Amino acid sequence: MPVISVLKECCKSCQLCVPVCKQGVLAVGAETNAKGYNAVVPQEGKKCVGCRACVTICPEAALELEV
């Protein structure tokens, strides 16, 4: 099953990944990283289908996908 993970310290919370995920897997998290950004976090109960849209649009290479 595909799993999306966030390199929290590389995320700038630009949120471009949020709307491109048709499964609603990603949302802005509550915690800030060392640079003060609220990194996105995968949501419990949402199912990644491995479409790669989020890793493609992310300008920071802050998302990783395991298939």
| Residue 27 found at the interface with other proteins (CB under 8 A) | no
Cβ nearer to other proteins, comparing 41 with 62: 62
Taking the CA atoms of residue 30, residue 34, residue 36 and residue 37 in that order, the dihedral angle to the nearest 10 degrees is -60
Q: Rg for the chain (alpha carbons), in Å?
A: 11
Q: Please name the helix (run of DSSP H) or strand (run of DSSP E) that holds residue 56, with its range, or none.
A: helix 53-57
Nearer to other proteins, 46 or 56 (CB): 56
Residues forming contacts to other proteins in the complex (CB under 8 A) are: 2, 7, 9-10, 12-16, 19-20, 33, 35, 37, 50-53, 55-67
